[in-house]
Amino acid sequence: MTGLGGEVIRTLLGAFAMALFPLVVVVFLIWEARKVIGRMQDRLGPTNAGTYAGPFALFQTVADGIKILTKELIIPTGADRGVFVAAPILVVTVAIAVWAVIPLGPTGLQVVDLDIGAFYVVAISALAPFSMIMAGWSSRNKYAEVGAFRAVSQIVGYEIPQVLALLIPVLLTGSLSLQDIIRAQDIAFIFVVPLAAFSFLIACVAEVGRLPFELAEADSEIVAGYFTEYSGMMFGAFYLGEFINNLTVSVIFSVLFLGGWRGPWVDQVPWLGAVWLMAKALLVFNVLVLFWAAMPRLRIDQVLAFNWKFMVPLGLVELVTVAIADKTMESLGVAQGWERSAGLLVANLVLGLAIVGVLSLVGREAKRRRSFRRPGVGAA
């Protein structure tokens, strides 16, 4: 196939393959997350409980998928049917649409290399709260509405430190293209600007609702949050979208701070870039799973206070510090190479020590005030 028609067909086939890729991978990630959590929490799986679920319980996820597909779809009386049905569709659509700009390799392994790829990721991700508020409002259920309000307030709040952290690789690269950001990482940015990587990871954990930020679907408080009234495949769409989002943020973190597809022998064998990217993403995904298995759930006021009182100021200070340090080294003739990376790392370490010192002083002051507080004082 040659000409414009052939190019269009190749693009469409590539887009279909890229959209199918996370859907297939997520099936194995669900199994992997269950195995890790089961080991950490000493839980019995289906095989140990007496039911054979295939080697290493690999068939359990397939059985769960079949069960969800065959369960009855129930729409509550009084629900807004159009909005109720559209919400899970939007969840999966948004989760998959981000993958259009994800570079799986140096050439030919990307649907489209947008010059504003990083901006595209932020813009598409910003549509996620709409699906949550649609699901909660259309259900006509108080638990679902509370879960939707929690989800929107949390996601909108943590998008700010996430974007601030994302701007630092953009600043260091001078480009919004994800391919350019990857190619600029002769030294992975996690070793150059670790505070930015930390901020971005924490913001991503909050964005996907993983513990300790699992406020939107706190089962012990509000049943299941904004998708309480969903059943069958519509519930499965939310579950699928959640795992795709976990994979997506792991891949984006790998692109921004771990060098993306860069690795040994990629120049000789370009498709190895996808292997290196997914290996790095799997490492980040397992960090999210560890959070899921080991962290307690926080209160909504604690989650929001942590964001507005710590994460947002940290993001602003980090962005300004990196910009000043980078401009200073440029004026001194150090515009690239390991000297630039070392200078940025030193600036980050100094900022980190300053933050630890400030937090220590604040903690001691708070402890001193509590020790002097008498019963009954300030109770009015």
Q: Is residue 130 part of a domain?
A: yes
pLDDT digits (tens, 9 = 90+) for 129-159: 888 888 888 877 888 888 888 888 888 888 8
Q: Is residue 235 part of a domain?
A: yes
pLDDT at res. 373: 64
Least confident span in 106-110, 175-179, 291-295, 320-324:
106-110
Q: Is residue 347 part of a domain?
A: no
Task: Give the C-alpha separation, 34 to 311, whole Å.
Answer: 30
Q: Is residue 325 part of a domain?
A: no
138 CB-near residues (< 8 Å, 6+ apart): 79, 80, 81, 83, 84, 87
Q: Which residues of 38-60 are buried (b: 16+ CB within 10 A; e: fewer)?
A: eeeeeeeeeeeeeeebeeebebb
Q: Is residue 309 part of a domain?
A: no
Q: Is residue 366 part of a domain?
A: no
Q: Is residue 360 part of a domain?
A: no
- List C-alpha distances in Å: 329 to 26, 214, 253, 361: 43, 42, 26, 31
At residue 269, the 3 state secondary structure works out as coil
Tell me: pLDDT of 62 over 90: no
pLDDT at res. 232: 78
pLDDT at res. 164: 92
Task: Give the C-alpha separation, 124 to 378, whole Å.
Answer: 47
| Structural domains in the chain (count) | 1
Domain range for 183 is 15-299
pLDDT digits (tens, 9 = 90+) for 303-319: 888 888 889 999 999 99
Q: Is residue 315 part of a domain?
A: no
pTM score, two decimals?
A: 0.86
pLDDT at res. 316: 92
